[in-house]
Chain A
Amino acid sequence: MKDKKRKKGRRIIIREDYCIGCRICEVYCITQHSQSKDIIKAYKFEEGLPESGIFFEQQGTVSFAIQCRHCEDAPCLYGCPTGALYRDKKTGRVLFDGRKCVGCWMCIMMCPYGVIKADIKNSKVASKCDLCIDGEFPACVEHCPNEAIILVDDRGVKIEKE
């Protein structure tokens, strides 16, 4: 394969049997994407907190948290007419440039996981998981108390935070 680095792409695996429905993943996702990246400063003082990149679902006692799968063959990339959604060649991630988004919601139409949000309250553009591109390790995975979401490498081997 051409892009060896892409094959090494990290992924988040969802283990719904382990999810206890605490929604801490959402709290830390928002924190990580806030201006201060500090949980207290962000929630207490910051205006316009970002949407979390996670969709939390619950039906009875079953729950799980899902975020962008960074699909190898990503339908959203075929939908986006502006180039706001793009494949990062180095990491294989599907990333999003909000400056290019016009809010046409084609990505929401295309994503079979339903994990792209319309960030209506802030910017009228889409919003999705970037696998914590600015951080060392995805915040949702790091703070999940029960390993219901774990990070794996391309061989499916679990990656621990160093």
Chain B
Amino acid sequence: MKTDYLIIGAGPAGINAVEGIRYFDKRGKITVVTSESIGGYSKPMISYYLAGKAGKEDMFMRPREFYGKHKVQLLLNREVVSLSAPGKKAVLADASAVHFKKLLIASGGRPVVPPVEGVEKIRGGFFTFTTAADAEGLIRYAEKNKVKNAVVLGGGLIGLKCTEGLLGRGIKVSVVELADRVLSNTFDSRASSILERNLKNAGCQVYKKDTVKKAKTDSSGALEKICLKSGKIIPAKLLIAAVGVAPAIGFLKNSGVKTGRGVIVDEYLKTNADGIYAAGDAAECGDFLSGGNSVLAIWPAAARTGRIAGINMTSRRKIKYEGGFIMNSVEIAGVPTISFGLSAAAPPGSEVLEKYVPEKNEYRKIVLSENRIVGAIFVGNIERAGIFSGIIRDRLDVSGFKDKLLNDDFGLLILPEDYRKRKIKTPEISVFN
């Protein structure tokens, strides 16, 4: 098979790449390959689906006619198993080959499965939680076996979103986290403690500085009990491993495409190989705060890198990716939270501004380095938090109004007049969305 544009992956990067390509190239043949059975759905939606708050149809981030409308050949249930960069050829699991002119690697991430004794014996009740198929499998298993208790290994973003989904189904959850707090990558101990308290109130147990040591099954192989390293034994019919994801780039071995932790790209999201680009969770690209490269597995960065890579693949424009920084918006047990940048541990020499209102469950923290904001946490009250993402991106010197950053009426009027006036004028186009 031959195609002009081959896109591996149908997540946010893959979808945005289709739109980026079609902005400039209406005719070129686009082929999208995904190992999943549906294309164009939104992974963050699976926790809402699990909770019963969203139906299957609600998971689609674009109308169902998306691929048809953009004249895209969508190959479902197909996996790319190897690639030849010089030959411009991808080989699928059924040994068929796709020859391409341009390629986007947007294969996303794969869940990391930690070593747990006895896991290989489990015939039912062990899941990861990153795809719609995972959520469907979980729901089916939970309903069939009338599951009342579950253990989620990993108190990071995926673990907590899964917890939220399970709680929504009336399942009691025990979260087991190796670090001393939940969301340890982005939250400090105070922010985490607010969430932990609310999780407990919602009927959830949180075990910290602990991990799952052993899984015990009954005679049929169904999960029965979880033993923690601390010695605690939790009866549970479900174990969900949510300790993290790693770029799904195994098929690039010997392909000629350079990889590190992810696929290494330049500021135009191009790899070392001619005509081959990478975006999203599979890519190792510009890190706005460090200036180096990193794998930033977050939705907005996947969408934006996908869009820019798509546009650049058409050769009609050459757009630089400005780099991304970590940001998350998570609502857990009714508490909305937003975090940006270096928010968990303040870097050496940095200054920290904090405001904590315990009776309202509200907490705000801002991390400054050389008078620039490099990190922030908002818990409970997230109103206007986005303004901080703009200030971080503009590297605005905040020394003149530092004392007002935590004010309740913080807004654009606190910012310097010339900056503000420039900012609110119609922004110029840099990427087409």
Asked if residues B48 and A69 are in contact (CB atoms below 8 Å), the reply is: no
Task: List chain A residues, Cβ under 8 A from B24.
Answer: 2
Q: Main secondary structure on chain A at its contact with chain B?
A: mixed
Asked if residues B414 and A59 are in contact (CB atoms below 8 Å), the reply is: yes
What's the A-B contact tally at a CB cutoff of 8 Å?
141
Q: A57-B411, A112-B387, A114-B387 are in contact. List 14 more A-B contacts (CB 8 A).
A: A59-B414, A66-B412, A72-B427, A73-B427, A73-B429, A75-B300, A77-B303, A80-B61, A81-B44, A83-B61, A106-B299, A108-B382, A109-B389, A114-B384
29 contacts between A and B (CB under 8 A): A2-B23, A13-B425, A55-B411, A57-B412, A57-B413, A69-B424, A72-B428, A73-B427, A74-B433, A75-B386, A78-B300, A78-B303, A81-B45, A83-B42, A83-B60, A83-B62, A102-B45, A102-B54, A104-B44, A104-B329, A105-B336, A108-B382, A108-B386, A110-B389, A112-B386, A112-B389, A112-B390, A113-B424, A118-B336
- Which parts of B241-295 form the interface with A (CB within 8 Å)? none
Asked if residues B433 and A77 are in contact (CB atoms below 8 Å), the reply is: yes
Q: How far is the CB of B422 from chain A (nearest CB, A)?
A: 12
- Which parts of A91-121 form the interface with B (CB within 8 Å)? 100, 102-114, 116-118
* Chain B, interface residues (CB within 8 Å), range: 35 or more
Q: How far is the CA of A82 from the CA of B214 in the complex (A)?
A: 38
Task: List chain A residues, Cβ under 8 A from B413.
Answer: 16, 57-59, 62-64
Closest to B15 in A: A83
Task: List chain B residues, Cβ under 8 A from A69.
Answer: 424, 426-427
Closest to B407 in A: A59
Number of interface residues of A (CB under 8 A): 44
Task: List chain B residues, Cβ under 8 A from A64.
Answer: 412-413
Asked if residues A78 and B338 are in contact (CB atoms below 8 Å), the reply is: no
User: In the complex, which of the residues A64, A103, A114, A117 has the most CB atoms of chain B within 10 Å of its own CB atom?
Assistant: A114
Given the contacts A75-B389, A114-B386, A117-B383, A104 and B409 also touching, CB distance less than 8 Å: no
| In the complex, A14 has a CB within 8 A of chain B | yes
Task: List chain B residues, Cβ under 8 A from A100.
Answer: 58
Asked if residues A78 and B304 are in contact (CB atoms below 8 Å), the reply is: yes
| In the complex, A79 has a CB within 8 A of chain B | yes
Closest to A106 in B: B329
Q: How far is the CA of A75 from the CA of B329 in the complex (A)?
A: 14
Task: List chain B residues, Cβ under 8 A from A102.
Answer: 45, 48, 53-54, 58
Closest to B16 in A: A78
| In the complex, A39 has a CB within 8 A of chain B | no
